[in-house]
């Protein structure tokens, strides 16, 4: 079986947790049942340790989480997410402003919706939007965008 490190760890957890029968697990991981049985035989100790960890949830899997470990998590890198949103929003903005004569009205509307979604995501990342159910209004989040060179009323 050719598995990446992440797939291998997921397979060990799936086997330890008995999440599905062997046939379904084999299909999910692109293997045969015989290959899966071989994997279990080769990794029996690790699978048993994973079963013990699942059976005893009070046993911590990681003793101490360090800041370096958190820095590796995608969710912990707000700056990187904002940079990606900025890049994609810049591309969408340039397409709307500079290529609007080459686009149909429906293409412009699609690009503006895309741009709006990036702005909403950025505002949400920065904590500038109320969480749903915060009690201020019963409506969804709103974002108003005014772009020079684009007639927004003609796109409605």
Does a structural domain hold residue 61?
no
Is there a domain that residue 68 lies in? no
Alpha helices in 56-99 (DSSP H): 67-71, 78-98
Question: Is residue 47 pLDDT above 80, yes or no?
Answer: yes
pLDDT bucket at 137, cuts 50 / 70 / 90: low
The verdict on 39 and 90 lying in the same domain is no
Q: Do 111 and 91 form a contact (C-beta atoms < 8 A)?
A: no
pLDDT in tens, 55-79: 776 655 566 767 776 766 666 677 8
Q: For residue range 92-127, what is the model confidence (pLDDT) as tens digits?
A: 888 888 877 777 888 888 888 888 888 888 888 887
User: Which has more pLDDT, 29 or 145?
Assistant: 29
pTM of the full predicted structure? 0.39
- Residue 130 pLDDT > 80: no
**Residue of 85, 6, 89, 132 whose CA lies nearest to 77:** 85
The Cα 7–Cα 154 span in angstroms is 50
- Do the domain assignments include residue 69? no
Residue 78: domain span: 74-155
Q: Is residue 60 part of a domain?
A: no
| Close Cβ partners of 137 (under 8 Å, ≥ 6 residues apart) | none
Task: Examine residue 67 and state whether it is found in any structural domain, yes or no.
Answer: no
Is the residue at 65 inside a domain? no
Specify whether 86 is located in the same domain as 29.
no
Task: Provide the 3-class DSSP secondary structure of residue 17.
Answer: helix
């Amino acid at each position: 079986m050719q598995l990446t490190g992440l797939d291998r760890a997921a397979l060990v957890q799936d086997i330890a947790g008995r999440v599905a029968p062997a046939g379904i697990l084999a299909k999910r991981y692109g293997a045969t049942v015989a290959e899966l049985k071989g994997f279990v035989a080769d990794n029996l100790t690790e699978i048993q340790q994973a079963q013990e960890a699942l059976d005893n949830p009070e046993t911590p899997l990681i003793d101490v989480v360090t800041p370096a470990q958190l820095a590796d998590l995608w969710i912990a890198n707000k700056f990187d997410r904002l940079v990606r949103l900025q890049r994609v929003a810049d591309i969408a903005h340039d397409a709307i402003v500079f290529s609007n004569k080459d686009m149909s009205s429906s293409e412009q509307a699609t690009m503006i919706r895309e741009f709006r979604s990036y702005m909403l995501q950025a505002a949400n990342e920065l904590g500038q939007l109320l969480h749903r159910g915060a009690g201020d209004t019963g409506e969804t989040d709103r974002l108003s965008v005014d772009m020079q060179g684009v007639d927004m009323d003609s796109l409605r």
